[in-house]
Every structure is written in structure tokens, then in C-alpha cells.
Amino acid sequence: MTPRRRTEIPHATRIVVKVGSSSISGDNAGQIAPLVDALAAAHERGIEVVLVSSGAIATGMPYLKLDERPTDLATQQAAASVGQNLLVFRYQDSLDRYGIVAGQVLLTAGDLENPTPRSNAQRAMDRLLALKILPIVNENDTVATHEIRFGDNDRLAALVAELIGADLLVLLSDVDALYTKPPHLDGAKRIEHVPFGDALTGVEIGSVGRAGVGTGGAETKVSAARIAAEAGAAVLITATSLVADALAGREVGTWFEPAPERHTADGEPALA
């Protein structure tokens, strides 16, 4: 069931939760456990949960003795190769407390643009969910090139939500909601609700995430929210620290209303 308001979130059938690098790496690595607590609670209610997690490069950086995110592709690939292994281990270590098994799914933009790998990815995730496995999705940074990258995992999460017909997409970051201007500026006000198709005229949307760690910001989240909403999924943007409240249907974050009709992965309309 696609939730039409926050209070209906606990009754969703299938959800995608995206978390950014800065929320689960470095000094914030401790947020993995409470994030897993919230995902496990939803899983226990019978909701099918997919986690899209950034953080492979950020997690690998200390092991390559890097103080900031590398700018060259080869070093990004190396950091991702080391970090992805550690990141999934940390998630599985936390999921073990609930007897939940994670499945790793690494995608490139080309995988979702070409029919055969797209169909394979959809089938694999559908099967993982049917087997009560929690898929952890990330961009395959080790093989991706600058030309074919998603650009940020907000967009990846929106495309995954569309691919698997998710009812809800939750985009988590360091900021508790979308604001009328960057939240550190005077006069910034939280946007509670965005009607479907609203152009957000007059809203000043920032484009930069936390320096040296992530790649996304409010701009990428709004763009991703529109992709998912147009596909028929509701979207909630909020802080990683508020994920339990978000999945419980409490009044947090910014709510993007879904389209009246949803679309299947092949682009055909379906009832929401």
C-alpha cells in the first residue's frame, strides 16, 4: 500500500531507505546500530526493506591513509573496494542481533539503463525480499566510470524504488528536513509537505553535502524525490537520527506526495 500520509507508513508493503556517507562513517559510524534497529523493527512488522547505503569510499579512506575523499577515479575505486567489504560487515554484525541476513547488491547506471541487467537486478531483489533477506544496495564504485555513474546515491535510491515498485522512499542525511533556504541561514523554515508536482518556487535549495565525505545535498534529494514520486512512491526526507520516528509514521521531515498513479518498472501505469 502506498502511504498517502505519514501515519500510513507503518502499513507500507515495500520501502527503500537511503543513508548518506556522512551519516554512517567516521565519527558517525555509531549511527549504524540505531539505523539497523529501525530497519529491523519495520522488517519485524512484515515490511520488505531495501537499504541503499553510501559510504564505501568514506569507510575505505582511513585504511588507505587518506584524509579526504580522493578526486581521481582509480583511488576512488580502490577505496570503494576496501570500504564496501567493511561497510557490509558492519551492517551484518548489527543485523545479527535480530537474526536478519543482508544481501549485497552493487549496481552501475548502465545496469538500470539496459533491459537485461535491469531485469536481472529486479528479479534478484524481488527474490531476496521474498526470502526475507535485507538487500543492501550501493553503486558499484570499483567498476563505475565518471561517464556512467549515478552521480549520487539519492538518484540511485529513487531508481531502485521505481525498479522494485516500492511504496515509500526515505532519504536520510544530516539534516532533519528540507528547508526554504539552507537551514543555517536566518529565516529558514521547515517544509512539512510538498504536493505532487509542486515546483517549490522561491525555495533556495543547496547543492553540497558534508565537505570531504559525501556527494549529495538538498538539491540531489529533491531531484530524487521527484523521480520516485512520479513513479508513484511517497517520499520522506529526514535525518538519520530520526529514522525510527520516520518509519513509525511520526510527524518528522519533509513529505513528498506521490503521483495519483504509480508506474511499474517497465513504465506501464498501475493502480497506486
Q: Which residues are annotated binding-site positions?
A: 18, 54, 141, 153, 173-174
Residues 201 and 134: beta-carbon distance below 8 Å: no
For β-strands 261-263 and 269-271, DSSP reports them as antiparallel
Binding residue positions for substrate: 54, 141, 153
Sequence-distant (6+) residues with CB within 8 A of 234 are 2, 3, 4, 9, 167, 168, 169, 255, 256, 257, 258
Q: Whose CA is closest to 175, among 199, 156, 148, 154?
A: 154
- ∠225-58-126 over CA atoms, to 5°? 50
Residues 111 and 27: beta-carbon distance below 8 Å: no
CA distance 110 to 98: 34
Binding residue positions for ATP: 18, 173-174
Residue 64 CA: distances (Å) to CA of 61, 82, 148, 214: 5, 9, 25, 17
CA distance 87 to 271: 37
